[in-house]
Amino acid sequence: MSAPARSDSPARLEALIGALKAKSILTEEELAARQAQTDRASPEIGARMVARAWLDPEWRRRLLSDGSAAAEAMGVSMAGAPPLGVLEDTPQRHHLVVCTLCSCYPRAVLGYPPHWYKSFGFRARSVRDPRGVLAEWGTVLPEGVDIRVVDSTADYRWMVLPLRPDGTEGWSEDQLAAIVTRDALVGVALPKVPPAAAAA
């Protein structure tokens, strides 16, 4: 469990920012731009990256070989962020992303991490019993599917390229992106075709 925030934390942060500005390491404009970028980040970016990979084999290769470069190609600045790796699910292997030490998370493409991702229970149990944790999310995988737990760290961040669901043939990028949730991008859930779409 993380330590409670110290009451003087805001003052310390302001002092640090002031020192960086005084040494011309950081300007007010750069700080505002970085804050705006952080606020714009959301799982919709990661979902769009996945949808494009489902439709475009060349883009898929690019995404898997260098996630950071792929994000930059979509207009997402990765400046100052750790490298982004993308884990491809297959019919034989499913990936689950966890940060065992704290809450390392690819914020540039997924936004802020959810509270449960940062919890000690999720972090510890995902390593010990990943299949059980997934089942609690309603993600029940066949026994023959290997579950690989991947540690997201301060040095390297990860997201998942899940399997494209059956029944999405002929769908547009927008339609595909709409079924890729934040939970699917870290591996606790699978993209699902809405019942109405499946019946159409």
Q: What is the DSSP string of 65-78?
A: H-HHHHHHHTT---
pLDDT of residue 3: 47
Give dist(CA 47, CA 182) in Å, integer: 8
* pLDDT (0 to 100) of residue 95: 98
Residue 17 has a pLDDT of 72
> Which tokens belong to 111?
């936004």
Residues acting as catalytic residues: 99, 102-104
CB 95 within 8 A of CB 151: no
Query: H-helix or E-strand containing 38?
Result: helix 28-40
Long-range CB contact pairs, 143-148, < 8 A, 24+: 144/92, 145/91, 145/92, 145/93, 145/94, 146/92, 146/93, 146/94, 147/93, 147/94, 147/95, 147/96, 148/87, 148/93, 148/94, 148/95, 148/96
- Contacts of 132 by beta carbon, 8 Å cutoff, 6+ apart: 125
Question: Cβ distance 141 to 131 under 8 Å?
Answer: yes
- pLDDT tens string 80-125: 899 999 999 999 999 999 999 989 999 999 999 999 999 999 999 9
**Which CATH superfamily hosts domain 42-199?**
Nitrile hydratase alpha /Thiocyanate hydrolase gamma (3.90.330.10)
- This prediction has a pTM of 0.82
pLDDT higher than 70, residue 155: yes
Using DSSP bridges, classify how beta strands 146-151 and 157-161 pair: parallel, antiparallel or unpaired.
Answer: unpaired
Domain residue extents for the chain: 9-40, 42-199
- Bridge partner residues of 95 (DSSP): 148
Per the prediction, the chain carries an average pLDDT of 88
